[in-house]
Structure 1
Amino acid sequence: MQPTYRPSKIKRARKFGFRKRNSTKSGRKILAARRRKGRASLSASK
C-alpha cells in the first residue's frame, strides 16, 4: 500500500494557490474572508 499523502508543492499550489482562488467567484470570497479574519497567509502560494 502506498502512503496516502505524497506532498508536492506544485500540485498544492495549483489546487489551493492564490491564482486558483482568485480565478473563481467563490475563491475570491474565501480570500476576502481570510483577509477579514486577518490571516498571516491567504493561500498555499502567496
Structure 2
Amino acid sequence: MPIKFKTKNKRRKKVHGFLKRMATGGGRRVINGRLKKKRKKVTV
C-alpha cells in the first residue's frame, strides 16, 4: 500500500477494528475516500 499509516496509536486502531477494516476492500475504499478529501487525520 502506498499510504503509510502512523503506527503510534496501534492499540487504539486495533480497538476500533482499524486493521480488520483495512483487510476488507470496502473498508480500504472508505479510508481512501477520506484521504482524498484531504483530511489530515484519518480516523476509523
Q: Which has the higher contact order (CA 8 A, sep 6+)?
A: 1
Q: TM-score, normalised to structure 2's length?
A: 0.50
Specify the structure having the higher radius of gyration (Cα): 1
Task: Give TM-score scaled by structure 1 length.
Answer: 0.48
